[in-house]
Amino acid sequence: MGAAARPDAGRAPMTPQTRPSAVALEALLWPATARPHLDGDISIGRIKLTPLTERFGTPLLVVDEQDVRERCRAFRRAFGDAEVAYAGKAFLCRAMATWIGQEGLSLDVCSAGELAVARAAGFPAERILMHGNAKTPEDLRAALGYGVGTIVVDSFHEISRLAALAAQGARPRLLIRVTPGVDGHTHAAVTTGTDGQKFGFSLASGAAAEAVRRVLAQRHLELAGLHCHIGSQITDPGAFDLAAARMVEFLAELRAAHGTPPRRLDLGGGFGVAYRAGDPELAPGPVAGRLRRTVQDACAAHRLPVPRLTVEPGRAIVAHAGVTVYRVVSVKHGPAGGLLVAVNGGMSDNPRPSLYGARYTARLIGRRGAGGERSATVVGRHCEAGDVIAAGVRLPADVRPGDLLAVPCTGAYHHSMASNYNMVRRPPVVAVRDGRARLIIRRETIDDLMARDLG
Ligand SMILES: Cc1ncc(COP(=O)(O)O)c(C=O)c1O
Ligand SMILES: N[C@@H](CCCC[NH3+])C(=O)O
């Protein structure tokens, strides 16, 4: 190519100062393999997002397999010989169950449906825990039928039901879900360690001690240990310490009352992650160090053997692996000079802002903006004014219909909580890794939606 034909002919040579650079990503928010590019695009797993949307459409949930695997490894390294059970409610499909299984994690399911996914992926039954405050007889039969390793019991009625089912053959291993009376200072809707909410047997009221007595009285049931889960998106490590210390104290009480204490202690999940730059996040290393020390010290103080620990991270494994890409449909001028940028998804693929006031960030991809930045609120397509995806974000002032917006940290409690509100079809999920993209959940079709409507 001759010099005159070059698009940059005649311009001053670029120095390091004038050479355009890709706008950096906030490293903590995006998947491990996410990289910004000069053209404004972002690649994940060495695949650029814009061509991916041309292939699979929008909205599109992209999941970075390497990010998931790295976080599984980080949790296993941090917790040493403890069991790490991924909480499938955060995001579950056959591919995810396969990755989790290959990385040596256990799996927490809370319905016959989640168990069916685990089964379809061939997840080892021994490494499955079943949860739920209102497991139905169908859930329990499915669990016993597959031979799940552990059932976490949550009510006196469930103990009776399990005893009846176990008398027919199975001998399930049980953890008792205890409510330790610890406030994790998270959103009220996901606070589960305090008395008065629906999960678990209260420690303070004596219900937990009574649940232990009832399980021990059933010869077909085996009491393996205790469980607690104080809530989700917790960023205060002190709340986990307090819960762990109370649970060890309870183990000591059980030894005094019944002889040998149960051998397992499951401290649940709930490790908070950053959704926006500057948000606090609990990294597995420090949190594991603290928790293990707390348990060891409390056991030493009570002269108890240290129980085998389990933790159940969900969000911390998969939230950062997910990026949702939307297409802008319309732009309006909002109050105080801000923009209202409406996209082709919303509360049906991300109900978290409307449920918990969750805050997200968003970024234009696929081209570089011009004309500076404006404050913007990214809103969804649903028939509610509260259908907001990201409020108060900075977007290029020239954002316009047809643009692509990427929202990071959408891997956990997005697809798993998606709905068909307004008969909108749920988006597909594409897994990316090492330059390859694989459709792991296809987009819903209008036929899917109509299939259950029998007229
Ligand atoms: C029993 C149990 N374990 C683990 C989790 C996972 O929580 P997170 O995704 O916040 O780690 C949950 C959800 O809060 C849960 O209910
Ligand atoms: N769905 C909640 C977390 C609930 C955790 C399940 N026990 C969220 O999106 O933050």
Mean pLDDT of 185-196: 93
Which residue among 256, 283, 316 closes a domain?
316
| pLDDT per residue as tens digits for the range 136-169 | 999 999 999 999 999 999 999 999 999 999 888 8
**384 assigned ligand-binding residue:** yes
* Of residues 122, 170, 120, the one with CA closest to residue 150: 170
Task: Look at the chain and report how many structural domains it folds into.
Answer: 2
Nearest atom, ligand 2, residue 358 CA? 10
Q: Are residues 366 and 269 in the same domain?
A: no
Does residue 229 lie within any of the structural domains?
yes
Q: What is the pLDDT of residue 18?
A: 56
Interface pTM, i.e. ipTM: 0.98
Q: What is the pLDDT of residue 19?
A: 62
The β-bridge partners of 43 are: 35, 48
Contact 423/381 with Cβ under 8 angstroms? no
Q: What is the dihedral of CA 403, 407, 412, 418, to 10 degrees?
A: -40
pTM above 0.80, yes or no: yes
- In angstroms, what is the span from residue 35 Cα to ligand 2's centroid? 28
**275 assigned ligand-binding residue:** no
Q: Are residues 367 and 418 in the same domain?
A: yes
Ligand 1 pocket residue status of 316, Cβ below 6 Å? yes
Q: Are residues 113 and 33 in the same domain?
A: no
Q: Are residues 93 and 71 in the same domain?
A: yes
Please give the residue range of the domain that contains residue 367. 20-57+321-451
Asked if pLDDT for residue 79 goes beyond 80, the answer is yes
Which CATH number characterizes residue 355's domain? 2.40.37.10
Percent above pLDDT 70 for the chain = 96
Ligand 1 pocket residue status of 229, Cβ below 6 Å? yes
Which CATH number characterizes residue 165's domain? 3.20.20.10
CA torsion sign for 416, 422, 425, 431 is negative
Mean pLDDT of 317-346: 96
**356 assigned ligand-binding residue:** yes
Q: Are residues 264 and 368 in the same domain?
A: no
The β-bridge partners of 376 are: 339, 393
User: How sure is the predictor about 172, in pLDDT bands with cuts at 50, 70 and 90?
Assistant: confident
Which residue among 290, 316, 342 closes a domain?
316
- In angstroms, what is the span from residue 166 Cα to ligand 2's centroid? 31
Which residue among 316, 337, 353 closes a domain?
316
Does residue 250 lie within any of the structural domains?
yes
Q: Are residues 119 and 50 in the same domain?
A: no
Grouping H, G, I as helix, E, B as strand and the rest as coil, residue 303 is: coil
Cα 178 to Cα 408: distance, rounded to the nearest angstrom: 34
Nearest CA to ligand 1 atom 13: 232
Cα 308 to Cα 311: distance, rounded to the nearest angstrom: 10
**Burial classification of residue 447, based on how many CB atoms lie within 10 Å of its CB (0-12 exposed, 13-18 middle, 19 or more buried):** exposed
The β-bridge partners of 352 are: none
| pLDDT per residue as tens digits for the range 391-412 | 999 999 999 999 999 999 999 9
| 383 given a catalytic annotation | yes
Q: Are residues 255 and 132 in the same domain?
A: yes
Mean pLDDT of 252-270: 96
Catalytic residue from among 72, 228, 383, 409: 383
Q: Are residues 275 and 419 in the same domain?
A: no
Pocket test for ligand 2, best of 413, 415, 417, 419 (most atoms within 8 A of CB): 413
Q: What is the pLDDT of residue 334?
A: 84
Q: Are residues 299 and 432 in the same domain?
A: no
Q: What is the pLDDT of residue 361?
A: 98
